Amino acid sequence: MPPPIDDTRHQSAVNDNIELRSSLDEDSYPLQDHDPMSSERLLSTDDDRPTKTQQKLSPHKKALLKSSAINLFWITSWYTFATFLSVYNKWMFSAEHYNFQFPLFVSSIHMVVQFSFAGLSLLLVPSIRPPKRPTIKDYMYKVFPCALATSLDIGLSNLSLKTITLSFYTMCKSSTLAFVLVFAFLFRLEKPSIKLIGIILIIIVGVLLMVSDETEFELVGFIAVMTASACGGLRWSLTEVLLRKESMGLSNPFASIFFLAPAQAVVLLILAAAVEGYPTIFGSVFFVTLEDGLFTALTILIGGVLAFVMISSEFFLIKRTSVVTLSVCGIFKEVATIFISTLVFGDRLTVINTIGLCITLFGIALYNWLKLRRAAEQARKHIHDEELQHQLASTDDTNEHLSPPSSGGPMYSMVAESTPILLVDGAMTNYRESKDGLDNSDDDDEHNKRWDQYELR
């Protein structure tokens, strides 16, 4: 007969078997975390795979989003403070409101305020101090012409607001892009073409329609604002030339204001003395008592602060993009300003005014479209050329087959390579910061070099 089964021994063996299996199961999980050939890894579920959102957040796209957000911030800041400054100037100089009849004097004080704030910024933040500064010769022959054009632009613009409405002023100032293109042709920042000349003619037709049916037309104010527009086109073209020259030390916006504002203040103070007269200014009702004088001074200083913040936004925007991008973004600012002027000051627009404005804005938008299309073609061509050179170099071909390395176009040039897309100009600005997580392979380095030419620092 078989021996009797010991229940106690049998139960103990079963328990030991269960514990052994449990131990093996527990030990298998850590192995799966370290074993690349684990079945758990090879047969991973969809939940373990990166989502589409995670796949989209590549370093390139992160840099693109970051740069777009920065550009949008400066555009919004420029819109806001420029609109506030336009409303402030109209309220300050029009006879129906504060009626301060000395716009050239006010503009000169604004230059002093901007110079003070810029100097304070450079003093408190050493990192933004430019390593170089313009020589006396450069200041007289390069900086001063830009300061003179800026002074005439600001002074004549404020002078025109004494007699014309804010909406009519804004519509006339929309012609600035036409003057920007004209001076860009003269300075060889833009190559003349039939299309660009046609855009200038479209803008001129729009301005003529706006003027032909203006309900409150004033010839003196119209001449002043159109002259200011011409000076504005010269101003921004000269500004771009200065910004792209690192040797001038004006690439920093605060440094630019610091060096430009004194010359602008001197020009405006001389014009104010000749046109308005200081005895007339300080003998007016605005300076009769100490209280009146303090209130007037405070009112003028507020405008200076608005002007400083607005110009800082302008310089940051043009530094990251270009002067034409600034003009194109002005489309929406002008529409917003006209809308606000109808609400605040009760300005009236006729059908002909509106048609003329639409034609002018169409011309500006058409230029933007042409520039974007040309930018896309140039970008594809540059990347293709760089890839071709890389392929030739990888096959150990001779250097004579390679084109000489490009020194790069001007940083702030109006050519298409400097502004590939309106809102994402300078999208690769922070690319180097965002690529730290990538492998430092030769392919990555070559790929990064291809993008460096589009980097707007």
Q: Check whether 24 has a pLDDT greater than 90.
A: no
Residues 284, 408: one domain?
no
Segment 439-456 shows an average pLDDT of: 43
Residues 174, 80: one domain?
yes
Residue 15 lies in a domain: no
Alpha helices by DSSP H, 213-289: 219-243, 253-275, 278-282
Mean pLDDT estimate for the chain: 74
Q: Check whether 132 has a pLDDT greater than 80.
A: yes
Residue 69 lies in a domain: no
Query: What values do phi and psi take at 98, rounded to 5?
Result: -70, -35
- Neighbour-count burial for 237-276, b at 16+ CB within 10 Å, e otherwise: bbbbbbbbbeebbbbbbbbbbbbbbbbbbbbbbebbeeeb
* 3 state DSSP class of 383: helix
Q: Check whether 82 has a pLDDT greater than 70.
A: yes
Last residue of a domain, one of 313, 348, 370: 370
What's the structural domain count of the chain? 2
Q: Mean pLDDT highest for which of 28-37, 50-59, 235-244, 291-300?
A: 291-300
Residue 71 lies in a domain: no
Residues 84, 103: one domain?
yes
Residues 204, 235: one domain?
yes
pLDDT at 401: 44
Helices 59-93 and 144-160 pack at an angle, to 10 degrees, of 50
Residues 103, 211: one domain?
yes
Residue 419 lies in a domain: yes
Residues 362, 385: one domain?
no
- Neighbour-count burial for 112-123, b at 16+ CB within 10 Å, e otherwise: bbbbebbbebbe
Residues 224, 152: one domain?
yes
Residue 50 lies in a domain: no
Tokens at residue 448, please? Answer: 């990064």
pLDDT at 338: 80
Residues 268, 411: one domain?
no
Residue 142 lies in a domain: yes
Measured CA to CA, the distance from residue 376 to residue 379 in angstroms comes to 5
Least confident of 101-110, 118-127, 298-307, 327-336: 327-336
Residue 318 lies in a domain: yes
Q: Is the pTM of this model over 0.85?
A: no
Last residue of a domain, one of 370, 391, 418: 370
Q: Mean pLDDT highest for which of 9-23, 206-220, 256-270, 436-450?
A: 256-270
Listed residue (324, 350, 335) closest to 413, CA to CA: 324
Residues 364, 390: one domain?
no
Tokens at residue 95, please? Answer: 């006879």
Last residue of a domain, one of 325, 349, 370: 370
Range of the domain at 399: 378-452
Q: Check whether 193 has a pLDDT greater than 50.
A: yes
- Rg over alpha carbons for the chain, rounded to the nearest Å, is 32
Residue 332 lies in a domain: yes
pLDDT tens per residue, range 294-350 = 999 999 999 999 988 887 787 777 777 665 566 567 667 777 788 788 888 787 878
pLDDT tens per residue, range 246-256 = 777 776 778 88
Tokens at residue 116, please? Answer: 């003070």
Residues 354, 425: one domain?
no
Predicted confidence band at 279 (pLDDT cuts at 50, 70, 90)?
Answer: very high
Residues 280, 399: one domain?
no
Residues 233, 96: one domain?
yes
